[in-house]
A and B are shown apart, each in its own frame.
Chain A
Amino acid sequence: MRILVTVKFVPDLQSQRSFTEGAVTRTGDDGTMNELDENAVEAALQLKEAAGEGEVYALTVGGDDAVAAVRKALQLGVDHAVHVSDAAVAGSDVFGTAKVIAAAVEKINDEAPLDLVITGMAALDGLTSMLPTALAAELDWAQLTLASGLTVDGSTATIVRHLPDAHETVSASLPAVVSVTDEANKPRYPNFKLIMAARSKPVTTWTLADLGIAPESVGAGAARTVVVDASPRPPKEDRTVVTDTGEGGVALADFLIERGLA
């Protein structure tokens, strides 16, 4: 079983951050691997362990600090780490990012075929959930998204997908792109041994040239959408917190009535 997991470096949601010229400004110490990608890594490791053989790659696209995301994946136990880093990637929209990831997947696939690409269900910073679909379309592989359960039997992958109107069971032939939800499994914690081992594991770094991608076909210039303004939501004014000393419920009700909400 050969599996590639995509992981994203995201700002720590609890920390302060800012936008400059439409892009997120981050500092190196306040980011980590997108939490929901831990479920993707876990799904890949479980499949490999169940198969008793195989290799798991973690891949990230991003600037220098993004290497933290694949390092985290190494600590969790993946075998190989790939970091695609190129100044021309900055400002890519989801289609540009999918193109870059697809090229990297194909490069690895050419060495020896991959069975699956597994992603998280969303990145907690932007949350659009569009990448897995864009990647499947770019690769022309099957798309098995929002899996809360995943099984692989021979050359067929099957997922369970909980939608508001129905629970679907969907199958496809490998290779496939699978996105897993946070219900799919319980991610493991890195243990001391793996943390130490991860330190000496190499990270392969590729540029767009290594992937045969023309710089102008990705990045901000090729993006179909442009952030024209970004600002922190103003803090709410007139906030009130009362302590219940026997009349708290009345105070709550009166507040709702006063605002025309009850």
Chain B
Amino acid sequence: MSTVAVLVEAREGVVTQPTFEALTLARTLGTPVAVWIGEEPAAAEAASLGVYGAEEVRVVAVGDEARLPAKAAAALADATGDAAVVLMISNFVNKEVATRLALATGAGVVVDAAGAELVDGHVETMQTVFAATWNVRTRIATDKAIVGIRPNTTQAVPAETPGAAIVVGVAENLPEARETVVALEPVPAPEGVPLAEAPVVVSGGRGTNGDYTLVRELAELLGGAVGASRDATDEGWISHEHMVGQTGTTVTPALYVACGISGAVHHRGGMQASGTIVAVNIDPDAPIFEIADFGVVGDLGDVIPQAIARIKEVRGA
């Protein structure tokens, strides 16, 4: 079986859930190995990769040096020379890394994939395009394939037989980059589950009038993350990290609840592939109702508290 390399994503040294999802997918494509670029992993973290099937954990110990995509791609190329497939989580930075890696290796690349499988020896991927209104299947024609996979599109399942997760050091020889990071201001990690990974997202838009109390309360009750529309983040009601949509975060949770969001095409493009969509909007003609599995035409100030009370009541019973 051929080697399938998975670029590990770690947050404050801890492996993220989408990494385990990618490893789960990697097992269906070949023999998974994990590639860790950054600080040396803690033993328990390297071992957690074995739980999801990683036979090796290849460490390129470059600290924060590989922030620039050109450097990260070079480190990844060094660690994945033997891999037929390189999987990574599809986000803005990794798309740049994937592009550079493809140019360095001649590989074909698909990003924003919702799945991948081997068909006649080639990797084929599934994606949605045009604001998530079309399904597309793409074949990667080259021998080497690079796939950016969206969080929440594969269910992470531990391997029946764990991988050995042997830690292997990869020599670091990062190239000079044309760019310099002159300042870095860390963004505090979000409380709870990050938006892109959350199984439930409750979003508020202009209809909240800036008060996110109810949206937060419902999100917390359902174990989800808080999202927002662009209008809400533009108003400064909530920080930009919460924005769902084509220029914000793309989410595919099992449940998406849109509160006081009209459903503009830019917003829909970032959430339309969600499992179940629920909308609360005072305007019966709001476009969000066209894609909602369940909609309530009403004031969110009435509907949401009542829903929260009802869920608590049923759970308590």
Contacts and interface: CB of A to CB of B under 8 A. Distances in A.
Given A164-B187, A240-B293, A248-B296, A231 B134 contact: yes
A152 interface: no
Interface in B262-317: 265-266, 269, 276, 278, 280, 284, 289, 291-299, 302-311, 314
Interface string A218-246: 00000111111111110010111111100
B109 A164 contact: no
Nearest to A131: B99
Given A14-B265, A224-B107, A252-B294, A163 B304 contact: no
Given A127-B112, A172-B178, A233-B128, A242 B295 contact: yes
Nearest to B270: A127
A233 B268 CA distance: 14
A230 B130 CA distance: 11
Contacts of A143: 69-70, 96, 178-179
A166 to B, nearest CB: 5
Contacts of A119: none
Nearest to B185: A167
B209 interface: no
B309 to A, nearest CB: 7
A248 B302 contact: yes
Contacts of B135: 229-233
Contact of A170 (B179, B247, B284): B179
Interface string B64-89: 00011110000000000000000000
Interface residues of B, number: 87
A94 interface: yes
B302 A261 contact: no
Nearest to A135: B99
Interface string A186-221: 000000000000000000000000000000000000
Contacts of B180: 170-172
Contacts, number: 241
Contacts of A122: 246-247
A14 to B, nearest CB: 6
A122 B284 CA distance: 32
B302 A130 contact: no
Interface in A147-194: 158, 162-173, 176, 181-183
Main secondary structure of the interface of A (DSSP, over half): mixed
B204 to A, nearest CB: 15
A183 B239 CA distance: 13
B137 to A, nearest CB: 4
Nearest to A243: B297
Nearest to B247: A182
Main secondary structure of the interface of B (DSSP, over half): mixed
B183 A168 contact: yes
B311 A262 contact: yes
A85 B185 CA distance: 43
Contacts of A158: 182
Nearest to B90: A128
A104 to B, nearest CB: 19
Contact of B303 (A19, A134, A168, A244): A244
A253 B311 contact: yes
Contacts of A250: 306-307, 310
Q: What band does the interface of chain A fall in when counting residues whose beta carbon is under 8 Å from B?
A: 35 or more
Given A130-B98, A224-B109, A225-B110, A241 B295 contact: yes
B111 A130 contact: yes
A72 to B, nearest CB: 19
Contact of A168 (B67, B134, B139, B246): B67
Contacts of B276: 259, 261
Contacts of B118: none
A103 interface: no
B1 interface: no
A225 B141 contact: yes
Interface string B108-139: 11111000000000001000111111111111
Nearest to A148: B240
7 contacts: A171-B179, A224-B107, A225-B139, A228-B139, A236-B293, A242-B296, A244-B298
| Closest CB pairs A-B (n = 4) | A249-B306, A244-B298, A224-B108, A253-B310
Interface of B: 11, 67-70, 91-93, 95-96, 98-100, 102-103, 106-112, 124, 128-142, 178-187, 189, 194, 200, 221-222, 240-241, 246-247, 254-255, 265-266, 269, 276, 278, 280, 284, 289, 291-299, 302-311, 314
Interface of A: 11, 13-14, 17, 19, 36, 93-95, 121-122, 124-130, 133-134, 137-138, 141-146, 158, 162-173, 176, 181-183, 223-233, 236, 238-244, 247-257, 259, 261-262
Given A121-B247, A170-B180, A261-B276, 16 more contacts: A19-B136, A93-B108, A122-B246, A124-B131, A127-B269, A130-B99, A134-B99, A168-B181, A224-B108, A227-B136, A236-B293, A240-B294, A253-B308, A253-B311, A255-B278, A261-B200
